[in-house]
Amino acid sequence: MSKLLNYFDLFYGCPRFDFLLQDDYITKYCKSVNQTFQILNNSPIIIFVGNDFNIYWEYRDGVMDVSPVESCVVLYKIIEEYGNKPFVYVKPNFSTLKCRNIIKLANENNGVVISSGKWSYGDFYRKFYKDRVELRKSNVFDKKKRNTVFVGRLRVDRPTPRVVADFSNSQYKYPIYRSQIDDLKNSPDDSVSRLQTEIQGYPQRPWFVEKLRESLPVDHIEGLSVDELPAAYLESKILFQPHGVGPRHNIYEGMMLGIPSIIPECSYLDDVTREHNFICSEFMHHIPVEAIKNLLDSPQLYKEKREEIIDIFESNMTHRLLIDRAFNHIENFIV
């Protein structure tokens, strides 16, 4: 039995954690639960306060590999609020390269950073996760109408910014986003520029779609309601996932249904995602075309792939597994 049962006071309010908070399973680790909508200003986080140490579980999307590092702004806000009381910082979107300053800042303040499994905080997961077993019955090769599909916005009107964390000073020595300086309790004076720094020229989604189309036909579906998404997914053999700010949450929505995805390389991809989907090079110079075509043409291979992904989802990505594995990992650190 875990020594962390009934140990923490839980503070939450961010809807990104609705997936973890369903059916109150997570509350077995808590002696009290407090729902608040303003824990830390503009921070997607839930906080477990214990007698001897705290847990800060955040869910940001990370940054694309073109950005030098991820901002430390959330961890700085945590330290401003809670000091350097020993803590574990749980980070689902984790890259040893891009999160290196987060690790250093935690270590300097009695903290340790661990990664955890990922989930989609979109409406699709929220609505259909509980119905996933029934939905999977329609994931049948013979009923597929489309081969490779990108389901989502091309964002031509509002391209995804590639933001750079580049503000630092004597108090905040690890870079943070200029656009979030004012979220800090000890924000610098007004002479400091708040203008967000962005990397220009990084390919946007239309470019990635056209690049894949040089090797494979790709359909594009946009503007669907959440109720229309299951049919769009289930009628497609393979999903294409050109990155947004980081890897798309639709990756995990597809895996929930047993549908593989084609994904451009990114340092935030975890081992489970890498092993059970089709990973291209970042700029689509290498695409595993032969393996993709073999799957598209073979009912038997597709059935095997579907069952493989469903099995890996149920053994790695359900909310209860994500919760228990994180707390087991934390308990091992403490012991």
Q: Do domains 8-119+318-334 and 123-158+201-316 have the same CATH topology?
A: yes
Among 269, 202, 272, which Cα is nearest to 241's? 269
Q: Rounded distance, CA 83 to CA 122, Å?
A: 32
8-state DSSP, 73: H
11 beta partners: 34, 47
Q: Kindly state the tokens that stand for 158.
A: 């509002």
Q: What's the one-letter identity of residue 7?
A: Y
Among 324, 327, 321, which Cα is nearest to 53's? 327
Residue-level length of the chain: 335
The answer to whether the predicted template modeling score (pTM) of the entire model surpasses 0.85 is: yes
Place of tokens 């590639």: 162
CATH no., domain 123-158+201-316:
3.40.50.2000
CA atoms within 13 A on the CB side of 131: 9
The reported pLDDT for the residue numbered 39 is 72
For 84, residues 6+ apart whose C-beta sits below 8 A from its C-beta are 109, 110, 111
Compute CA 260 distance to the chain's CA centroid, rounded to the nearest angstrom.
17
pLDDT averaged over consecutive 10-residue blocks of the chain (335 residues)?
92 93 96 82 90 95 91 95 95 95 98 95 95 97 97 88 92 95 89 92 94 97 96 98 88 97 95 95 96 98 98 97 96 79
CATH no., domain 8-119+318-334:
3.40.50
Q: Give the count of beta carbons closer than 10 Å to the beta carbon of residue 192.
A: 12
Domain ranges of the chain: 8-119+318-334, 123-158+201-316
The reported pLDDT for the residue numbered 282 is 94
Tell me phi and psi for residue 131, to 5 degrees.
Answer: -100, 15
Relative orientation angle of helices 299-316 and 289-297, to the nearest 10 degrees: 110
